[in-house]
Amino acid sequence: MNLAAARERLATVPDPEIPAVTLVDLGIVRDLRETPGGVEVVLTPTYSGCPATELIADDVRAALAEFGDVTVTLQRAPAWSTDWISAEGREKLQQYGIVPPQCHVGDGSEQAIRVLPRLRCPRCDGGKTEQLSRFGSTPCKSTWRCIECGEPFEYFKPF
């Protein structure tokens, strides 16, 4: 078994809701372990009610099928945090037109103070923006509009 090759393959599996980023970019892949018959992948969904959880598990199994039996384990604690999104993942979100989380959530050991910053438009970099809806195409995003260019965009909410 080549665990490094399995890790590389896993790093190419796109998120089904935001295909510009991978599961590894989002930080939902918590661990990859060798097992006697294949591999085990430990995932932490972005939130407990994420409708894509089963599809993500199926995509992981399909991507790693050549490495033997693939076991997907869901680990819900600690809860996923937007702090786990990699720097590369944040850049990919921005390029895709989704403003990545702009504040640090914390590790849960202390109360985090969330101050929503003035968001910059991912298309024109304009600083005059307004929130249109607290919820976007998925519950983890909100919908904003740039007043300067008029384009709507999404913001990946920190949690």
Q: Tell me the pLDDT tens digit for each residue of 96-122.
A: 999 988 765 554 444 444 445 578 899
Nearest-angstrom CA–CA distance, 33 and 121: 40
**Predicted model pTM:** 0.80
Domain ranges (residues) in the chain? 3-74, 87-156
**Least confident range of 6-20, 45-59, 109-123:** 109-123
SS3 84: helix
Residues pairing with 28 in the sheet: none
Let me know: does 155 contact 145? Beta carbons within 8 Å.
no
- Per-residue pLDDT, 84: 93
Q: How far is CA 133 from CA 4, 85, 158, in A?
A: 42, 23, 15
Of the candidate CATH numbers 3.40.190.10, 3.30.300.130, 3.20.20.140, 3.40.640.10, the domain formed by 3-74 belongs to: 3.30.300.130
pLDDT reported for residue 115: 46
3-state secondary structure of 70: strand
Mean pLDDT for the stretch of residues 116-137: 86
